[in-house]
């Protein structure tokens, strides 16, 4: 069995020399297609990978041998995907979405072909969460599914499909179900990645929660907003996926074989579970943010009470000193021998009583 990395430059493909059956699509030259974006291409017959074949004649070989071709692309240009689209009969609207990416998860049908968009996600490791940390990195995988072909178009430098292809090639019974088996495997892989990302984000949420409610005074509002913003990216990737998976699982797509529907129901169940988990994390972050704001407000109020209490204590000697500093000639006890000591005694006793009262009421 020959395999090729999904994220590595493609190796040489050996063109087939068998005659073209009647009605099979006409081959297109490799030069006209531009194969820089093609990272793997294989024909599968009865669940087995066939010897290497040129991508531009792979569909012809698949039709002749009664199998299907799986063509993997990485960030193709418009010209590259255009040549592939002409060869495999892809719809122009779907091709446009696949080239420019930035689509929301969806499932569309064009005659006998399906076009599915899936958002991918990756947790970005960081030593400590800050107000500018990147937590969730997203990409996209587009899947074209036809009667004799499946084409995966990947955008983003993560979630390559190399290991997925290798694992799937070890499950001949699943590959025998046709191109929809590859669509299931890709969707299942993407949803499983969401589960891992959500669990790692959960650790960040727990750390923030502990910081907000710790005895030490911390300012976590910026970090909370950043994590909530990053979690929104994951929520946009997971939430819309429920509708396409429901269509695939509940007999709303005729081109999906009946045995595959139970597989898609399992992926749907996992996607709903992740959606609920992400929604729960978002609600928890909102609650933590409100608690942090409330705690900050309480801390500000406590500071203001302390400032007010000390200002009241300081006002006593300030007022007495101000009165006796006006230098009037006729003032009480101005020429008394013990007047200076009496003033200090009044100041100290008054300030002590004020301090004790504020201390008792929790202002100091």
pLDDT tens, residue by residue, 5-62: 344 433 333 333 333 333 344 333 333 344 578 889 999 999 899 988 888 899 999 9
Would you state the pLDDT for residue 328?
67
Q: Write down the pLDDT at residue 95.
A: 92
Q: Which residue has the higher pLDDT, 112 or 335?
A: 112
Distance CA 271, CA 192 (A): 8
Ranking 273-277, 298-302, 311-315, 328-332 by mean pLDDT, the lowest is 328-332
144 forms beta bridges with 115, 151
Kindly report, residue by residue over 156-167, the tens digit of the pLDDT.
888 788 899 999
Q: What H or E segment, with its residue span, contains residue 176? A: none
Where do the structural domains in the chain lie, given as residue ranges? Answer: 302-360
The arithmetic mean of pLDDT across residues 239-245, rounded, is 92
DSSP, collapsed to helix, strand or coil, labels residue 240 as: helix
Burial class (CB in 10 A: 0-12, 13-18, 19+), 325: exposed
pLDDT of residue 67: 93
Q: Residue 27 — φ and ψ, nearest 5°?
A: -60, 150
- Residue 134 has φ and ψ, to the nearest 5°, of -90, 125
Burial class (CB in 10 A: 0-12, 13-18, 19+), 1: exposed
Give the span between the Cα atoms of 274 and 272, in whole angstroms. Answer: 5
Query: How confident is the model at residue 330, as a pLDDT?
Result: 64
Write the pLDDT tens digit of every residue in 336-353. 777 777 778 888 888 888
CB neighbours (10 Å) of residue 295? 17
Rg (CA), the chain: 35
Going from the C-alpha of 294 to that of each of 185, 211, 218, 222, 281, the distances in angstroms are 46, 14, 13, 15, 20
Query: What fold, for 302-360?
Result: Methane Monooxygenase Hydroxylase; Chain G, domain 1 (1.20.58)
The mean pLDDT of the chain is 83
């Amino acid at each position: 069995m020959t395999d090729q990395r999904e994220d590595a430059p493609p190796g040489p493909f050996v063109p087939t020399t068998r005659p073209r059956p009647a009605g099979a699509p006409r081959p297109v030259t490799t030069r006209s297609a531009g194969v820089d974006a093609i990272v793997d291409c294989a024909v599968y017959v009865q669940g087995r990978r066939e010897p290497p074949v040129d991508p531009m004649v792979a569909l012809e070989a698949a039709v002749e041998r009664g199998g299907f071709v799986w063509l993997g692309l990485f960030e193709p240009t418009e010209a590259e995907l255009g040549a592939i689209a002409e060869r495999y009969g892809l719809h122009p609207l779907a091709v446009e979405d696949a080239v420019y990416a930035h689509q929301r998860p969806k499932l569309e049908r064009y005659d006998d072909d399906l076009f599915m968009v899936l958002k991918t996600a990756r947790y970005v490791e960081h030593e400590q969460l800050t107000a500018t940390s990147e937590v969730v990195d997203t990409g996209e995988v587009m899947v074209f599914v036809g009667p004799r072909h499946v084409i995966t178009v990947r955008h983003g430098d993560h979630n390559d499909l190399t290991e997925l292809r290798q694992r799937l090639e070890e499950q001949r019974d699943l590959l025998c179900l046709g191109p929809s088996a590859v669509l299931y495997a890709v969707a299942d892989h993407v949803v499983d990645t969401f589960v891992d990302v959500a669990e790692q984000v959960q650790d960040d949420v727990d750390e923030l929660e502990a910081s907000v409610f710790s005895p030490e005074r911390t300012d976590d509002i910026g970090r909370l907003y950043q994590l909530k913003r990053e979690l929104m990216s994951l929520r946009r990737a997971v939430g819309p996926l429920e509708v396409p998976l429901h269509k695939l699982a509940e007999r709303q797509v005729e081109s999906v074989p009946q045995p595959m529907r139970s597989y898609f129901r399992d992926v749907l169940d996992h996607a709903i579970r992740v959606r609920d988990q992400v929604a729960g994390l978002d609600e928890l972050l909102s609650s933590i943010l409100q608690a942090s704001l409330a705690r900050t407000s309480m801390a500000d109020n406590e500071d203001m009470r302390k400032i007010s209490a000390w200002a009241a204590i300081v006002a006593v000697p300030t007022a007495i000193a101000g009165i006796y500093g006006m230098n009037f000639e006729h003032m009480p006890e101005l020429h008394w021998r013990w007047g200076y000591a009496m003033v200090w005694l009044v100041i100290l006793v008054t300030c002590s009583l004020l301090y004790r009262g504020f201390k008792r009421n929790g202002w100091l």
